[in-house]
Amino acid sequence: MQRIEVRLKRHLPDARGEGLVKDIHDLGITSVRSVRVVDIYWLDADLTSEELDLIGRSLLADPVTQEYVIKQSSRDEDETSPSYHTVEVAYNPGVTDPVEDSVLKAIRDLGVEWVRAVKTSKRYLIQGEIDQPQLELICSRLLVNPIIQHVVVGEQFEFPQNPEYRFKREEIDILATDGAELARQFGFSQEEFQAIRDYFRRQGRNPTDVELETLAQTWSEHCVHKTFKGRLTLDGKTMDNLLKSTVMRATKELNKPWCLSVFVDNAGVIDFDGRWALCFKVETHNHPSAVEPYGGAATGIGGVIRDPLGTGLGAKPILNTDVFCFGPPDLPYERLPQGVLHPRRMFKGVRAGVADYANRLGIPTLNGAVLFDERYVANPLVYCGTLGLLPKEVAQRGKQQAGDLVVLVGGRTGRDGIHGVTFASEQLTEESTTTSSSSVQIGNPIVEKKLIDILLQARDRRLYSRITDCGGGGLSSAVGEMAAETGVRVDLEKVPLKYAGLSYTEIWISESQERMVLAVPPEHIEELLELFASEDVEATVIGEFTDDRRLKLFYQGNLVCDLEMEFLHEGRPQLVREAVWQPPQHAEPDFAPPADLGQPLLKILGSWNVCSKEWVIRQYDHEVQGGSVLKPLVGAHNDGPGDAAIVQPILDSAMGVIVANGINPKYADIDPYWMAASAIDEALRQIIAVGGSLNKVALLDNFCWGSTSRPEMLGALVRAAQACYDMSVVYGTPFISGKDSLNNEFEYEGKTISIPHTLLISAIGVMEDVSRAVSMDLKQAGDLIYLVGTTQNELGGSEYFRTCGFIGNRVPKVNPQRAKQLMDNLSAATGKRLVRACHDLSDGGLGVAIAEMAFAGGLGANVQLKSVPLGEPIARDDFILFSESNSRFLVEVAPENKDEFERTMQGTSFALIGEVTDSGILEIYGIKGRKIVALPINELKEAWQRPLRW
């Protein structure tokens, strides 16, 4: 074992260390003065000191900023003083070290051939007077996640030894036992287990371990969405299949010719411009992110990027959108359940994991949101979405022939993520963080980038007949689904492994990242293998598609799995459940209206949900690929909160794609139906606000719920799904794909904490001419400000009530017929270039929207509440200012366009409520004409920016 240490030269500041000092101070330990980080490279080799010197000097250490040391013990004199504490942290055995491959390659480029393996660790030199418990706190809270890392004790570092695997066919006796224990172990319900036992009884034999694992994965909630496909009854009304009766039914009834491929492939596909198509998918990676935020979130984005890549014959990923839900970052540690990471650490880890992966892949992250609620503390939600672009003629899912070869491409297979999908479908407990380590996958973005680059070349040469991604469920799910209509045989020993020792079952169910499966006609295989080799991407023939409709797996010639496809895919007994729905009753808020509404406005602007997310946004590359037209941060200082994002996917075409998200879990505490309706309205509002139209807009649904085995939880799900249908058909915006993640619950001290019912609606809209885009920042003093839409007394679940300590009951509702008319009119107005700025009203209502528009534009505004169009009498200024009624917009119009704008808006509820000023002050007058807000825009902006200025 040889080691080379690299550290910054002493006189240079250590940016990584300074970040840690901040985090340590956040823990309440203020005596730490500095942290310096030393990178350690462990080489499994027997090199001469000249060779080690060469590696240190010309490769590992930067000659200007760093120095390197080659020695066993490496503590400098002054670091042995009592105020220095050192901690060395390394990856656990079996965890992929993401830099190993490139370091090995670079060492070979130097002409040094004899290095067998490389691992890295980090040593932290912490300077300051801290005691042992404080040091342990720093380690456990900041430096080490035991799921993937450990503290290196002493000087020894072990390279894991992986014993060879010796084949033994494992059978599981299910015929002789009652199976309760087995069913639990594999995550089957009693009915499912019974069906399996009946099947094998007919076969006259017991299943092998890999057969049961395959069934467990194929039938898991994660893979098959059994709740959504279940037979559910609510209020005496039975739906045979929730998905088909709601979300998919809307798409079918709308029957849009531009929907090219919906609900059948890894992502939904719509037409873009007649030549190109767009595909879009959003997924969650919640449970892994809860236990290892960085790695879990990185593999979340890595996985969803492979969805477009595995759609049709493969799409190029062109945009990412991310929505995160966490506990409040200022949660006191004493309220943190045992075994759960603090929301701040989760937030930072998830943000970094997604950014490091997406940035490396060169996919712009142009849109997203971050929400906070204490119920997300143990169950954060990590939604990642990717938009893809593909030629229209390859938009349909491919079809393989018997005789086509099964080719596994991309990364190698290890123990990563074994049982990931069953883990994802289960409830988290206090022990989850210690028992689920093998479910956490480690991503390597460069492997995926190489894979994308080469796959798109192979696609354009039509070298394969079908493609799918290897995600949750691994080969089992990818190959099993692909071969459902044909049959397949796979020789598992042919799968390239990261290290020895994997059993045939582990190979089959591993969820190692960065892999895709292709069906390749034999006449193309040589060209395909050569192409992949030319850019150093592994491609391996592991089997062949057959025509016997059986799944046959072999290991070294031994048959280890022989299942009928029909049983695997159709043999699962349908889930039958009762759902109930009882509207909750919350205390009706009872407080006097404050005279000055400036203070509540500042408070809402500074709330976690509303405040600026610039800290997150800037750490994502939102410019790469050169297509951004409307960026996430807009306005005079590039720091205002843009609504939807617009990207121009084909650089020499004026057509654009608008991407938006809607999410309102807070309304679900009152009624999940209106929560879902609000989310759809919000996503569509954003598309309209930036100059889009409803003409060609497609939606995705993403349900994250608690345990639907409880009837009331299921009732809430059914109501939300019904709203999806009701809204979608009226707006004329079909769903093209979706996903669900159920069982987002956490058991703690005998209590079950369930997340709020959370539905993310993601929308894409096609825009004919990006030069018609509108941003939300006020543009010109003297312009007119219109409020479009009707304001109701709807503050239930609002930010205003939340800051006053209430939930309320009057949840914002949606009238989709009226809303569509209004959106169509406003879209006509932006199409005629009559709109200078437009912002939709959401969290914090009119008050927040006008403040954001003003400080984003660096301009003041005067607004009269008495002019606001009301749908019912509202006597309180605070209710008008902060109501969160849906389907509303603020619009800036130049005085010369007044008449034309008003003509265009005929037939909708709108009113002139104020004007833009150059005073730099936001002035709002109440219904009686009294000044209720008068604040400089700088003060408003500061309140909004302060919380997340990390």
List active site positions.
222, 285
* Min separation Cβ 68 and other proteins, Å: 11
Report which of 447, 463, 320 is spatially closest to residue 388, judged by C-alpha positions: 320
Which C-beta is closer to other proteins: that of 13 or that of 332? 13
**Sign of the torsion angle spanned by Cα atoms 875, 878, 884, 887:** positive
* Min separation Cβ 639 and other proteins, Å: 10
Could you give the CA distance from residue 331 to residue 626 in angstroms, rounded to a whole number? 39
Q: Does 638 bind other proteins (CB under 8 A)?
A: yes
Place of tokens 């800290």: 615
Q: Per-residue string for binding with other proteins, 305-344, x by CB under 8 A?
A: ----------------------------------------
Stretch binding other proteins (CB under 8 A), from 603-611, 625-633, 662-670, 672-680? 625-633
Stretch binding other proteins (CB under 8 A), from 14-22, 25-33, 416-424, 871-879? 14-22
The strand pairing partners of 369, in sequence order, are 323
Q: Which of 503, 625, 743, 798 binds other proteins (CB under 8 A)?
A: 625
* Min separation Cβ 399 and other proteins, Å: 30
Q: Which of 552, 622, 685, 820 binds other proteins (CB under 8 A)?
A: 622
Q: Does 635 bind other proteins (CB under 8 A)?
A: yes
* Min separation Cβ 899 and other proteins, Å: 23
Residues 880-939 that bind other proteins (CB under 8 A): none
Q: Per-residue string for binding with other proteins, 150-189, x by CB under 8 A?
A: ----------------------------------------
- Give every strand in the sheet of 237-239, ordered side by side: 237-239, 231-234, 576-579
Could you give the CA distance from residue 80 to residue 205 in angstroms, rounded to a whole number? 66
Q: Per-residue string for binding with other proteins, 346-375, x by CB under 8 A?
A: ---------x---xxxx-------------
Stretch binding other proteins (CB under 8 A), from 125-133, 276-284, 516-524, 765-773? 765-773
Place of tokens 């297979």: 413
Report which of 320, 322, 441 is spatially closest to residue 380, judged by C-alpha positions: 322
Which C-beta is closer to other proteins: that of 442 or that of 700? 442
Chain CA centroid to CA 610, Å: 20
Could you give the CA distance from residue 240 to residue 226 in angstroms, rounded to a whole number? 12
Q: Which of 50, 77, 109, 113 binds other proteins (CB under 8 A)?
A: 109
Which C-beta is closer to other proteins: that of 636 or that of 729? 636
* Min separation Cβ 624 and other proteins, Å: 6
Helix axes 293-309, 343-361, angle to 10 degrees: 40
Which C-beta is closer to other proteins: that of 665 or that of 691? 691
Long-range contacts, stretch 520-526, CB < 8 angstroms, 24+ apart: 520/404, 520/405, 520/407, 520/463, 520/464, 520/465, 521/401, 521/403, 521/404, 521/405, 521/464, 521/465, 522/403, 522/404, 522/405, 524/462, 524/463, 524/464, 525/405, 525/407
Q: Does 219 bind other proteins (CB under 8 A)?
A: no
Q: Does 633 bind other proteins (CB under 8 A)?
A: yes
Which C-beta is closer to other proteins: that of 19 or that of 337? 19
Q: Which of 48, 49, 50, 63 binds other proteins (CB under 8 A)?
A: 63
Question: Exposure pattern of 566-605 as b/e (b: 16+ CB <10 Å)?
Answer: ebbbebbeebebebebeeeeeeebeeeeeeebbebbbbbb
In degrees rounded to 5, what are phi and psi of residue 398? -70, 175
* Residue 648 burial by Cβ neighbours in a 10 Å radius (0-12, 13-18, 19+): buried
Q: Which of 103, 680, 724, 760 binds other proteins (CB under 8 A)?
A: 103
Which C-beta is closer to other proteins: that of 691 or that of 816? 691
Could you give the CA distance from residue 821 to residue 922 in angstroms, rounded to a whole number? 31
Q: Does 16 bind other proteins (CB under 8 A)?
A: yes
Residues 533-552 that bind other proteins (CB under 8 A): 534-536
Q: Does 683 bind other proteins (CB under 8 A)?
A: no
Q: Does 781 bind other proteins (CB under 8 A)?
A: no
Q: Does 626 bind other proteins (CB under 8 A)?
A: yes
Stretch binding other proteins (CB under 8 A), from 508-516, 613-621, 796-804, 927-935? 613-621
* Min separation Cβ 856 and other proteins, Å: 10
The strand pairing partners of 864, in sequence order, are 925
DSSP state of 804: T
Residues 806-865 that bind other proteins (CB under 8 A): 857
* Min separation Cβ 749 and other proteins, Å: 37
Could you give the CA distance from residue 157 to residue 153 in angstroms, rounded to a whole number? 8
Q: Does 453 bind other proteins (CB under 8 A)?
A: yes
For the chain, the 3-state helix, strand and coil shares in percent, each to the nearest 5, are: 35, 25, 40
Q: Does 868 bind other proteins (CB under 8 A)?
A: no
- Give every strand in the sheet of 259-261, ordered side by side: 259-261, 268-271, 276-284, 381-391, 316-326, 365-372
Residues 496-535 that bind other proteins (CB under 8 A): 534-535
* Min separation Cβ 414 and other proteins, Å: 18
Q: Are 819 and 807 in contact (CB under 8 A)?
A: no
Q: Does 64 bind other proteins (CB under 8 A)?
A: yes
Place of tokens 């290196």: 152
Q: Which of 286, 505, 612, 775 binds other proteins (CB under 8 A)?
A: 775
Q: Which of 69, 446, 912, 934 binds other proteins (CB under 8 A)?
A: 446
Q: Does 441 bind other proteins (CB under 8 A)?
A: no
Which C-beta is closer to other proteins: that of 364 or that of 665? 364
* Min separation Cβ 462 and other proteins, Å: 20
Q: Does 60 bind other proteins (CB under 8 A)?
A: yes
Which C-beta is closer to other proteins: that of 26 or that of 430? 26
Q: Does 875 bind other proteins (CB under 8 A)?
A: no
Place of tokens 């437009």: 838
DSSP state of 413: B
Q: Does 65 bind other proteins (CB under 8 A)?
A: yes
Tokens of 77: 């004199």
Place of tokens 């995160």: 324
Strand 697-704 versus strand 735-741 pairing type: parallel
Could you give the CA distance from residue 264 to residue 271 in angstroms, rounded to a whole number? 16
Q: Does 653 bind other proteins (CB under 8 A)?
A: no
Could you give the CA distance from residue 107 to residue 887 in angstroms, rounded to a whole number? 60
Question: Exposure pattern of 533-560 as b/e (b: 16+ CB <10 Å)?
Answer: eeeebbbebbbbbbeebbbbbbbeeeeb
**Sign of the torsion angle spanned by Cα atoms 405, 407, 413, 419:** negative
Stretch binding other proteins (CB under 8 A), from 54-62, 260-268, 593-601, 899-907? 54-62
| Interface positions with other proteins (CB under 8 A) | 12-13, 15-16, 18-19, 58-60, 62-65, 98-99, 102-103, 105-106, 109-111, 355, 359-362, 444-446, 449-450, 453, 534-536, 617-631, 633-636, 638, 648, 651-652, 770-771, 773-775, 777, 779, 857
